[in-house]
Amino acid sequence: MLVAVGVGMFGVPFAFRTDVVQQLTTLCTLLIMAVMWNVLAGYGGLVSVGQQAFIGFGAYATIFLAQRGVAAYLAVVVASVASGLLAVVLAPLLLRLRGGQFAVGTWVVAEALALLVALDESLGGGTGVSLRGLNAIAPDWRSAYTYWLTLGFALLLLFLVFLLLRRRSGAAIQAIRDDEEAAASLGVRIMPLKFMLFVLAGFGCGAAGALTLANTLFVQPSSIFGVQWSAYMLFMVLVGGIGTYEGPILGAVLFFLLQDWFAQFGAWYLIGLGVVAILFALFLPRGLWSLAGDRLPFRLLPVGYTLRPGR
């Protein structure tokens, strides 16, 4: 079913106006961010408030490559891979931290990267920079190409997460989240699995940042490295259903609608998101998806393992 929906969505640019296509591109990037944060925190227990480090790195790596003659859309792909490589470099340091220390450590990395970019005049400094490589493409086609690339990344990452959770690694990852010491005593390889999750999330968030740049054509360190991205991801996952496959998808759609309706309220909008997230954590900790998932006679997207009583 997921494949059928994805194939149908590829026809969107032929049926809707350019502004609608751009909005759906934004929705796909939010979906990527939600799914990646859920992989870390919902399944791996790695609560990060610094994934904007990879979002910003992916965007500015695209600028860096485009300035050196790499085709813009190819630069988006290469920058996404480079974000995964950055996660490989950072993993040995950050994965030694636990709980609040890990959360703060990821945030410090994001702030350090933002400062380094702001000090680099070739990348626009603190005033920002444009992705000029896409200006030569007609707006309608540029919007369509960016949407198709974003949708392709979203489907790829959803498939990778689905594949990861359907294998024995899915149960092992959740065992690490629930009790790392107990999982280790049962022979679960803790560090390799956490490393895999961290790198996957780095790659996905880097792709989201690069695709956000391709959609907006302009980026600033203060916005692309802003901590609001972590707030958005946390909101989408908590409201949709943390630790579920379908929850972040539902949360991304809901957040997209709320963002469109209430963004004009500025800082109060962010405060409102925080209050709603707290209320869900207190009164509906399994998120909105639990209201539907518990009532379905079957699992929509079956991942993990289910114990059934013998007959």
Q: Where do the domains of the chain lie?
A: 2-226, 227-297
CB atoms within 10 A of CB 237: 29
Q: Give the residue-averaged pLDDT of 29-43.
A: 94
Tell me how far apart the alpha carbons of residues 82 and 75 are, in angstroms, rounded to a whole number: 10
Buried-state track 167-189, b at ≥16 Cβ within 10 A, e below 16: eebbebbbbbbeeeeebeeeebe
DSSP letter (8 states) at residue 49: S
**Element (DSSP H or E) covering residue 130:** strand 129-130
pLDDT tens figures, 51-83: 999 999 999 999 999 999 999 999 999 999 999
Check whether 310 has a pLDDT greater than 50. no
Q: Give the residue-averaged pLDDT of 220-246.
A: 91
The DSSP line for 255-310 is: HHHHHHHHGGGTHHHHHHHHHHHHHHHHH-TT-THHHHHTT-SS-SS--S------
- What pTM was computed for the model? 0.89
Q: Give the residue-averaged pLDDT of 14-23.
A: 88
> Half-sphere exposure of 265 toward its Cβ, with a 13 Å CA cutoff?
11
CB 53 within 8 A of CB 110: yes
H-type alpha helices, 95-189: 99-118, 139-166, 168-178, 180-185
pLDDT tens figures, 154-203: 999 999 999 888 877 777 887 877 767 777 777 778 888 899 999 999 99
